C-alpha cells in the first residue's frame, strides 16, 4: 500500500471519533475502508487513492475510557480542495465499528501550505536580520543617496556672481529668491526649479538684474535674519511678492506642504514694506510675516432699544436721536471678545483655509463641525438655528453672510476682511489682520 510523503501532502483532515464500546485501531481503519467502499466512485476509492499515493496513511488514535473509546482520525491528502472535502465528509457516514455504535465528526481541514508559508516568513526575517546585523546596505539609503546626488547635480551657477540656482530660472516668468544653497536644494527636492539663492545677506548684482526682467518672489527664513535680508533686497532689487517661513524655521527644513502654504500666502512688496517698517529687527519676530498682524479690536457698540430701520442688518440698533446740533454717533453693541485659545484656533483654521475657497463651522468646544464651499455657506447657515459657535471662511465677510449668521445664532465670524462694520451686528466680526 502506498504511503504519501508529508512533504507532498497539501491538506490534513482532522476528525474526532466517539465509540460506545472498546475496539482496536484496525477495527476503525477497516470500518473506514469498508463503509466508504463504492460510495464515492472509482476515482475517489480510498484504497486506490492510497495505492497511488494521493491519500496518505490514515492515523487513528484511540483512548479507552469507562467502557467507551474516543480519539482522533488524521488523513493527509494531496487531492484538491473539493476532493479532499468529499473524502472528509464521507468519514461522517460511519455509524458502526464492529458491534459498537460510533460517531465521526470532522473538526477541520488544515492547509499544510499555510505552515510552510509561515516557515518561509520566519526564515526570511532571520536572514534579513542577519543582513542588517552584518551591515548590508539599506535600499532606502541607496535611493536617498542617488536622489540627493541628482538634486546636487540640478543646482547650477547662474550669472556673473555664480549664484546657486535651479535649472528653470531662465525659462520661468517668476523666480523665487531664497537665502542660501541649502534652501535651493530643498526647493529642488520638492519640485521648485525656478529658484535662485543670494548666498548671504549681501544681495548680488545678478539678483538685481534678474528683478528687472522677471517677477520676483522673495522667500526668507522665519527669523530676525529674514527681515534684515528683506531690507537689503528692497534697497537694490524690484521685488513683486514676499513670503516667509513659519516662525523659527528655515526654508531648507520646510516640508512640501509648508512651502506650498507659504507661497499661497505671499503678500505684495508694498504691504511687506509697511509691515517691515513697524518691526524692530533688533528683536526676533514671533510670527511669520504672512501672519504678522497688529492685534487690534474695533470699538464695541452699546445696545439700543430703538426699533430697526428698513434694510438695517439684524441685531443693529440705531442710536437715540441726539439733541439738535449735536454730532450723530452710534454706540456700538457690546460683544464678548474671543478667548486667547479661541483666537489661536481661529488663526490656525484660517491659515489652513487659505486658497481653498471654503469655510469651516466650529462648535463651542472649537471642534470642526464640517467644511462647506463658500457658495453653499449662506444656505447651510440658513438651515441651522443653533450649534454653530463660529464660522471661519477664506473670503471677505459681507452683509448677506452676517444676516445668515445672526439667524443661526453664530457668535463669531472670521474672514480675510469684512465689508460690514462690527458695530452694525451682534455677531463678533474678526478679520485676519486682527488675529
Residues of the chain with pLDDT > 90, as a percent, come to 26
The mean pLDDT value for 107-130 works out to 88
* Closest to 238 in 3D by CA, of 175, 159, 157: 175
pTM of the model: 0.36
> Does CATH place domain 340-434 in 1.20.1420.20?
no
Tell me the CATH number of domain 146-291, given options 3.40.190.10, 3.30.1300.10, 3.40.1360.10, 3.40.50.720: 3.40.1360.10
pLDDT at 226: 84
Confidence of residue 334 (pLDDT cuts 50, 70, 90): low
CA–CA distance, 88 with 77 (Å, rounded to integer): 10
pLDDT at 327: 42
pLDDT at 332: 43
CA–CA distance, 138 with 375 (Å, rounded to integer): 51
Q: DSSP letter at 21?
A: S
Cα–Cα separations (whole angstroms), residue 323 to 4, 126, 319, 371: 114, 94, 12, 49
CA–CA distance, 261 with 182 (Å, rounded to integer): 20
Helices H / strands E in the chain, number of each:
13, 17
Task: Give the residues across from 240 on adjacent strands.
Answer: none
pLDDT at 220 over 70: yes
Least confidently predicted of 10-14, 131-135, 181-185, 282-286: 282-286
CA–CA distance, 90 with 123 (Å, rounded to integer): 38
Q: Boundaries of CATH 3.40.140.20 in the chain?
A: 340-434
DSSP string, 219-283: EE-SSHHHHHHHHHHHHHS---EEEEPPTT--GGG--HHHHHHHHHT-EEHHHHHHHHHTS-TTS
- Residues 326, 335, 434, CA angle at the centre, nearest 5°? 95
CATH number of the 11-114 domain:
3.30.70
pLDDT at 279: 59
102, 94 Cβ separation under 8 angstroms: yes
Place of cell 492547509: 111
Q: For the sheet containing 390-393, what is the strand order?
A: 368-373, 358-362, 390-393, 412-415, 428-431
Q: Give the 3-state secondary structure of residue 217.
A: strand
pLDDT at 392: 94
> Who's near 111: CB < 8 A, 6+ residues apart?
10, 11
Q: Boundaries of CATH 3.40.1360.10 in the chain?
A: 146-291
Pair type for strands 368-373 and 390-393: unpaired
> Who's near 385: CB < 8 A, 6+ residues apart?
407, 408, 409
Give residue-wise pLDDT tens across range 262-304. 999 899 988 888 887 765 444 433 344 434 433 333 444 444 4
pLDDT at 295: 39
Residue 128 or 284, more confident: 128
Amino acid at each position: 500500500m502506498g504511503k504519501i510523503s508529508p512533504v507532498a501532502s497539501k491538506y490534513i483532515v482532522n476528525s474526532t471519533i466517539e465509540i460506545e464500546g472498546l475496539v482496536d485501531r484496525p477495527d476503525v481503519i477497516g470500518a473506514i475502508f469498508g463503509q466508504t467502499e463504492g460510495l464515492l466512485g472509482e476515482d475517489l476509492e480510498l484504497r486506490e487513492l492510497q495505492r497511488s499515493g494521493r491519500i496518505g496513511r490514515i492515523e487513528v488514535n484511540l483512548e479507552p475510557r469507562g467502557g467507551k473509546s474516543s480519539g482522533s482520525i488524521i488523513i493527509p491528502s494531496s487531492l484538491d480542495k473539493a476532493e479532499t472535502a468529499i473524502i472528509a465528509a464521507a468519514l461522517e457516514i460511519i455509524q458502526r465499528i464492529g458491534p459498537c455504535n460510533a460517531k465521526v465528526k470532522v473538526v477541520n481541514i488544515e492547509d499544510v501550505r499555510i505552515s510552510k508559508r509561515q516557515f518561509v516568513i520566519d526564515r526570511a526575517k532571520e536572514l534579513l536580520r542577519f543582513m542588517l546585523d552584518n551591515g548590508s546596505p539599506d535600499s532606502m539609503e541607496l535611493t536617498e543617496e542617488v536622489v540627493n546626488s541628482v538634486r546636487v547635480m540640478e543646482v547650477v551657477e547662474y550669472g556673473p556672481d555664480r549664484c546657486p540656482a535651479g535649472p528653470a530660472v531662465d525659462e520661468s516668468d517668476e523666480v523665487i529668491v531664497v537665502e542660501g544653497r541649502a534652501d535651493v536644494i530643498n526647493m529642488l527636492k520638492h519640485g521648485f526649479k525656478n529658484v535662485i539663492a543670494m548666498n548671504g545677506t549681501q544681495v548680488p548684482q545678478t539678483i538685481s538684474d534678474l528683478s528687472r526682467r522677471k517677477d520676483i518672489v522673495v522667500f526668507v527664513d522665519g527669523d530676525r535674519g529674514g527681515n534684515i535680508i528683506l531690507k537689503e533686497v528692497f534697497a537694490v532689487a524690484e521685488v513683486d511678492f514676499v513670503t516667509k517661513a513659519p516662525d523659527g524655521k528655515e526654508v531648507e527644513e520646510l516640508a512640501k506642504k509648508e512651502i506650498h502654504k507659504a507661497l499661497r500666502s505671499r503678500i505684495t512688496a508694498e504691504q511687506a514694506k509697511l509691515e517691515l517698517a513697524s518691526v524692530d529687527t533688533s528683536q526676533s519676530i514671533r510670527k511669520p510675516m504672512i501672519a504678522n498682524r497688529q492685534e487690534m479690536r474695533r470699538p464695541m457698540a452699546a445696545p439700543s432699544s430703538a426699533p430697526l430701520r428698513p434694510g438695517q442688518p439684524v441685531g443693529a440698533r440705531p442710536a437715540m436721536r441726539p439733541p439738535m446740533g449735536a454730532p450723530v454717533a452710534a454706540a456700538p453693541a457690546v460683544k464678548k471678545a474671543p478667548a486667547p485659545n479661541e483666537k489661536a484656533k481661529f488663526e490656525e483654521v484660517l491659515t489652513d483655509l487659505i486658497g481653498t475657497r471654503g469655510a469651516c463651522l466650529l462648535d463651542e468646544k472649537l471642534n470642526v463641525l464640517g467644511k462647506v464651499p463658500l457658495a453653499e455657506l449662506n444656505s447651510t447657515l440658513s438651515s441651522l438655528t443653533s450649534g454653530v459657535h463660529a464660522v471661519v471662511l477664506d473670503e471677505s465677510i459681507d452683509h448677506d453672510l452676517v444676516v445668515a449668521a445672526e439667524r443661526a445664532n453664530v457668535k463669531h465670524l472670521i474672514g480675510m476682511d469684512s465689508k460690514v462694520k462690527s458695530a452694525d451686528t451682534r455677531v463678533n466680526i474678526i478679520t485676519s489682520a486682527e488675529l
